[in-house]
Amino acid sequence: MRNARYYRTVLGLLLGSWILSGCATTTTPHESDPFEGFNRSIFAFNEGVDKAILKPVAKGYKAITPKPVNKGVTNFFSNLDDVIVIANDLLQFKFKQAASDTGRVLLNSTVGLLGLIDVASEFELPKHNEDFGQTLGYWGVGSGPYLVLPLLGPSSARDTVGLGVDVFLDPRLYYTGTPQGLSSNHVIYASEAVKKVDMRADFLEVEKVVEVAALDKYSYYREAYLSRRNYLVYDGNPPQNEDIGDIFDDEDDEDFDEDEEDEDEEDEEDEDE
């Protein structure tokens, strides 16, 4: 499950690039965002729902929930999410990682009391982040246009498809031990509501970074999302920007060395005279 540390990493890394880019709203269409007008309207709708409902509920949840309980809820949903991670490990032929994540689920689900305690991390079984959108990217499918989904937030054409597939990998879909009168759908809706509130509560402190850094929250979130997804698809090693590489090109170094040699020769001639 994405938590406060995840958001701090994403928004913190982007802060520098945001400042360098001028911290201003772009006046030209973004190449990854051809539906910007539509996306901004959905973004405004989501912001309204967040301000009116989700954020106040998250504040109340954080105020009354002890930190150990809050952490346990986050760990519980993270453990459920690891089942989806394992499936996508296998689809990407990351068998060693799949074995590690399987051990993580087994350990946290038993010793960790159904995932409430993250025991696996103490045994050096790290948390990984894989989903079907990343799997599609791993096999060469482009992200497609940037999209903002109602209530769900930032996405892309590829990740929207991936989200639909991941639903069928969610273990909650197959849970049948519900009390009489309740269906698995009720369990999914109720648990998803708790999950969203928990995530929003974790984000309360981090959003202050956005308020300070971003003149345009929409553009800030878009760049944060696209950069994060690119980072995840390439497992932390996205392709380097060729233009940046040109700055340090060897030919430039050679020219610099030649200029230095010419200056040295001129100085020697002056001394001889």
The pLDDT tens digits of the residues spanning 248-270 come to: 344 444 444 555 555 555 555 55
- Split at pLDDT 50, 70, 90, the class of 108 is very high
- Split at pLDDT 50, 70, 90, the class of 246 is very low
Selected residue with higher pLDDT from 4 and 232: 232
pLDDT tops 70 at residue 135:
yes
- Split at pLDDT 50, 70, 90, the class of 273 is very low
- Split at pLDDT 50, 70, 90, the class of 177 is low
- Split at pLDDT 50, 70, 90, the class of 208 is confident
Residue 104 contacts by C-beta under 8 Å, 6 or more apart in sequence?
Answer: 82, 120, 125, 127
pLDDT tops 80 at residue 110:
yes
- Predicted local confidence at residue 243, as pLDDT: 42
User: Residue 118: left (phi > 0), alpha (psi -120 to 50), or beta?
Assistant: beta
Q: Cα–Cα distance between 86 and 196 in angstroms, integer?
A: 22
